[in-house]
Structure 1
Amino acid sequence: MQRQLAFWPAPQNTSQKPPIWDNLNPQHRATLITSLARLISKTVQSKDLSEIQEDKHDQ
């Protein structure tokens, strides 16, 4: 008889992960936050641009 696998299996290891931010110095934190903000803004801007181009194409 086949067993069905759980769709969302429970984690086997319940240990706490170390906090990432505590291990970074302020300069690295600022660099990381700036990089993430730039990636997010590029993604949002490219999505907005593609929607504008689709609207122009539909007209």
Structure 2
Amino acid sequence: MSLFPFLIAMALFVFGLWLMSVADVVAGFEAIVFFGGILCASAALAIPINVLGRRESGI
């Protein structure tokens, strides 16, 4: 696995967890912030599964 995509995926994952944790502090936008955190964490998991898996398999 390349270092740069790994760092991007890890940063997205941590940012998504942070967004989900601060969702209750943001008055009026709790659902939007929490959903944004879910999207960031999902995108962080999709990077190694889809992008990096195809490149390293040699197909």
TM-score by length of 1: 0.46
Structure that is richer in helix per residue: 2
Considering Cα pairs closer than 8 Å and 6+ residues apart, tell me whether 1 or 2 has the greater RCO. 2
Normalised to the residue count of structure 2, the TM-score between the two structures is 0.46
